[in-house]
Each structure stands twice: as structure tokens, then as C-alpha cells.
Amino acid sequence: YGIKEGRKSSPVFDVRFYLSTHTDLQIAFPNGATNYAMALEHWKNHGIKEGRRSSQTFDVKCYLGKYRDLQIAFGKRNYKAAINHYLAHGRREGRTTMCSP
């Protein structure tokens, strides 16, 4: 249940969005367009480090790029730390997670 059914699991990760946005994963995974468990594992093991966009409402590269204090604290590419910051503090602080197109 849950992620295996493609349900949104957090404010920073939406498995359906992740798969539809990253078509390379659809090709790489068996039953690619609906292999939600593999998509989650990919995001945890590779996607976060790569800064792949993981939700329609959360863009980690944008989030980290917007806030100089986070860049100073975590570096310009520590996406995992940026995600953790958002979940622990940024959301409560009202920090925005998207950039203008």
C-alpha cells in the first residue's frame, strides 16, 4: 500500500511526478511507468544526490539556490541536507521551494 500504489508520501517526493518527469527511469525499470517502489529507491539512492526534481511543488536545486544561508551551511550541492532542512525548518519558516519558469 502507499508508495506501491503511487500515493504521495511526503511534501518533497511524489512518486508519480518523479516517474513522469524522469522518463529515463521509465525505460530503465521493469514496468517503468508504474514501478513506484523502484522509483522511490532510485530517488533515495541516486536522485537526491543528483538534485532531481521530485515533486511538482518542491525543487531542491531551486530551494538550495535561493537561500544563501543554506549554501553557506551545506554547500551548493548538498541536496540531502537541503531536503532535511526544509522538512525540519524551512516549511515552518515559510521558505519557498520553487523558482519562476
46 in any annotated domain: yes
Instruction: Domain of residue 31: give its range.
Output: 2-50
Total domains, the chain: 2
14 in any annotated domain: yes
- Are residues 42 and 82 both part of a single domain? no
- Are residues 66 and 45 both part of a single domain? no
Chain segment 28-75, per-residue pLDDT in tens: 887 767 788 889 999 999 999 999 999 999 999 999 999 999 999 999
Whole-prediction pTM value?
0.86
Neighbours of 1 (CB within 10 A): 5
Neighbours of 84 (CB within 10 A): 15
100 in any annotated domain: no
Is pLDDT of 5 > 60? no
- Are residues 45 and 64 both part of a single domain? no
